[in-house]
């Protein structure tokens, strides 16, 4: 009688273990997926740079400085391999793009240009997507950390040699208040 | 904000969907049994045929629920070039909620409303009215879209579609029973009378009960989708503002192109607002109050 109970208990434990193991893998994969999602959006943003530079050049030729900087940053970004460099250069590119749009305020013809407006909206939308992708990444890290730190997940995690992952830090400039649309 | 475990919500919905399906099979079998005892063999065969047809139509309408919903709304696909900003918004929200980007459709109506459909996140569709695009700000539109994406992510659509189909099935069977009473002569009077009465009672009560259950569960889901929307956008104000605008519109205009049968799938049931009828959606004031607490 005791034997049967023990066997049933053992089976239950095995199933719970398998469930937790799989869930840890699943959440880990979700984090990887989230990271690559961010990369995809960052790349899309960088890819719009040449088009933007061409459009602005036509109207604001003597803003060469900022245009060159933006092109330079894009090249750096394409060469970057590790996540730290990518993040750092990516943030610098974001700042530079903001400067371009600030400068564009002085050129009413540029501001009326359809292509420019389209690029402006597109870049703004991509920034939103980057923000959402980062949010999803951090949500995934939270779910993973919860599972791996709480009981009984922590036991399985120890066996799998997994510990908590780090959150993404949002760049300071992103912490501005939400833009108001009139 | 009260942290709800959405993983559990998804699992619960999937389980409930299966439960509802099994319930419909068991219920139908019971139905057959009661009818066969009450009426005798030939009605039994007729009923089997009718049930097969009912199941077939139910299954087909489940599989094609998205096409049906879109056709009834007369919706057209939101072209990626012409409606770039809308598509970008949907994509961003889909990224934030971890589901693939659903297909985006537009319903050519001046009212403010939206719905989502499709049997799982991989085959999902989200549809907004032209009026919504024109009258809602980006933040409000995001709140509405996020609410719909929440439904998709939680497998609400699947559950609601199956529930609708089951309710329809039970109604059809009940109708068949009540109708066959007309044709039944005075042949079998004895103990079968009891089963006849049971059968009739079942036929009348079950559609009502099922409908009540379906409504009750729908209301909870609407609250959950509101919460899910805030989880995605991290901002309840957009959705609150949108819900107010929606209520305003329907109170003023009293006109809708939404059909009564698909109304439950929309973010706001126009018939509920216009006529204060018993609806699948909780009252807007209640929804707004809950959102303000987030």
% of chain A beyond a pLDDT of 90:
38
Output the pLDDT for position A108: 84
Residue carrying the six token digits 């929309």: B266
Is B222 marked active-site? no
Output the pLDDT for position A33: 92
**Number of independent structural domains in chain A:** 1
φ, ψ for residue B107, nearest 5 deg? -100, 120
For chain B, 294 residues long, the average pLDDT of each consecutive 10-residue run is: 52 70 69 67 67 75 81 90 94 94 94 88 92 94 95 83 73 71 54 68 73 68 86 90 89 77 73 61 79 78
What are the angstrom distances between the C-alpha of B250 and each of B108, B112, B126? Answer: 16, 8, 21
Output the pLDDT for position A1: 83
How many of the other CB atoms lie within 10 Å of CB of A147? 21
Output the pLDDT for position A26: 93
Instruction: List the one residue out of A41, A123, A25 whose CA is nearest residue B101.
Output: A41
State how beta strands B103-107 and B125-129 pair: parallel
Q: With beta carbons less than 8 A apart as the criterion, state whether B267 and B249 touch.
A: no
Residue contact B84–A121, C-beta within 8 A: yes
Tell me what the pLDDT averaged over chain A comes to: 86
Residue contact B88–A128, C-beta within 8 A: yes
Nearest CA in chain B to A178: B139
| Nearest CB neighbour to A132, from listed B85, B92, B137 | B92
- State the Cα–Cα distance between residues B257 and B108, nearest whole angstrom: 9
Q: Is the pTM of this model over 0.90?
A: no
| DSSP states of A55-101 | HHHHH-GGGHHHHHHHHHHHHHHHH--SHHHHHHHHHHHHHHHHHHH
| Nearest CB neighbour to A181, from listed B92, B98, B138 | B138
Residues of chain B with Cβ-Cβ distance to A140 below 8 Å are 98
Structural domain including A147 reads 12-168
Residues of chain A with Cβ-Cβ distance to B137 below 8 Å are 181
Q: How far is CA A72 from the centre of its chain?
A: 22
Residue contact B88–A129, C-beta within 8 A: yes
Residue contact B95–A122, C-beta within 8 A: no
Tell me, yes or no, whether A4 lies in a domain. no
- State the Cα–Cα distance between residues B12 and A140, nearest whole angstrom: 20
Tell me, yes or no, whether A62 lies in a domain. yes
Higher pLDDT, A147 or B270: A147
Is ipTM > 0.90 here?
A: no
Tell me, yes or no, whether A100 lies in a domain. yes
| Nearest CB neighbour to B96, from listed A30, A132, A181 | A132
Tell me, yes or no, whether A174 lies in a domain. no
Residue contact A136–B95, C-beta within 8 A: yes
- State the Cα–Cα distance between residues B35 and B178, nearest whole angstrom: 11
Tell me, yes or no, whether A119 lies in a domain. yes
- State the Cα–Cα distance between residues A66 and A72, nearest whole angstrom: 10
Check if A129 contacts B (Cβ < 8 Å): yes
Output the pLDDT for position B64: 82
Output the pLDDT for position B186: 47
What CATH number does the domain containing A130 carry? 1.20.1440.20
Output the pLDDT for position B39: 65
The alpha carbons of chain B give a radius of gyration, in whole angstroms, of 21
- Check whether the bond before B135 is cis (ω within 30° of 0): no
Interface test mutation site (partner A, options B3, B85, B92, B149, max chain A beta carbons within 10 A): B92
Interface test mutation site (partner B, options A129, A168, A180, max chain B beta carbons within 10 A): A129
The pair of structure tokens assigned to B133 is 């695009």
The pair of structure tokens assigned to B22 is 């099994």
- State the Cα–Cα distance between residues B35 and B12, nearest whole angstrom: 34
């Amino acid at each position: 009688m005791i034997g049967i109970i023990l066997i049933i208990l053992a089976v239950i434990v095995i199933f719970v273990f398998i469930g937790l193991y799989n869930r840890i893998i699943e959440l880990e994969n979700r984090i990887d997926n989230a990271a690559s999602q961010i990369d995809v959006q960052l790349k899309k943003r960088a890819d719009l740079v040449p088009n933007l530079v061409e459009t602005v050049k036509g109207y604001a030729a003597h803003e060469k400085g900022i245009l060159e900087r933006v092109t330079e940053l894009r090249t750096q970004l394409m060469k970057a391999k590790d996540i730290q460099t990518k993040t750092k250069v990516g943030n610098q590119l974001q700042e530079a793009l903001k400067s371009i749009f600030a400068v564009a305020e002085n050129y009413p013809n540029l501001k009326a240009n359809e292509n420019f407006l389209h690029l402006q909206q597109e870049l703004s939308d991509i920034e939103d997507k980057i923000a959402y992708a980062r949010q999803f990444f951090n949500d995934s890290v939270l779910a993973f950390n919860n599972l791996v730190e709480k009981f009984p997940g922590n036991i399985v995690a120890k066996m799998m040699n997994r510990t908590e992952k780090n959150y993404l830090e949002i760049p300071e400039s992103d912490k501005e208040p939400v833009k108001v649309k009139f | 904000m009260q942290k709800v475990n959405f993983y559990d919500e998804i699992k619960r919905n999937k389980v409930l969907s299966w439960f509802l399906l099994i319930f419909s099979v068991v219920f139908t079998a019971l139905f057959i049994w009661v009818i066969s005892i009450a009426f005798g063999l030939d009605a039994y065969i007729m009923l089997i045929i009718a049930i097969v047809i009912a199941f077939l139509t139910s299954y087909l309408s489940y599989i094609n629920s998205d096409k049906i919903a879109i056709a009834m709304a007369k919706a057209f696909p939101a072209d990626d070039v012409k409606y770039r900003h809308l598509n970008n918004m949907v994509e961003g929200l889909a990224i934030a909620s971890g589901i693939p980007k659903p297909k985006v459709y537009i319903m050519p109506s001046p009212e403010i409303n939206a719905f989502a459909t499709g049997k799982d996140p991989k085959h999902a569709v989200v549809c907004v009215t032209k009026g919504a695009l024109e009258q809602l700000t980006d933040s409000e539109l995001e709140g509405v879209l996020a609410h719909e994406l929440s439904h998709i992510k939680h497998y609400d659509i699947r559950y609601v579609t199956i529930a609708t189909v089951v309710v329809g099935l039970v109604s059809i069977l009940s109708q068949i029973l009540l109708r066959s009473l007309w044709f039944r002569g005075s042949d079998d009077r004895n103990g079968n009378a009891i089963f006849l009465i049971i059968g009739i009672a079942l036929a009348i009560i079950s559609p009502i009960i099922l409908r009540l259950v379906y409504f009750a569960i729908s209301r909870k889901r609407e609250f959950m989708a509101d919460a899910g929307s805030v989880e995605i956008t991290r901002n309840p104000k957009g959705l609150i503002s949108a819900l107010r605008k929606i209520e305003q519109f329907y109170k003023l205009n009293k006109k809708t192109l939404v059909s009564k049968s698909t109304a439950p799938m929309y973010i706001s049931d126009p018939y509920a607002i216009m006529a204060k009828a018993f609806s699948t959606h909780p009252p807007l004031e209640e929804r707004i109050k809950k959102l303000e607490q987030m």
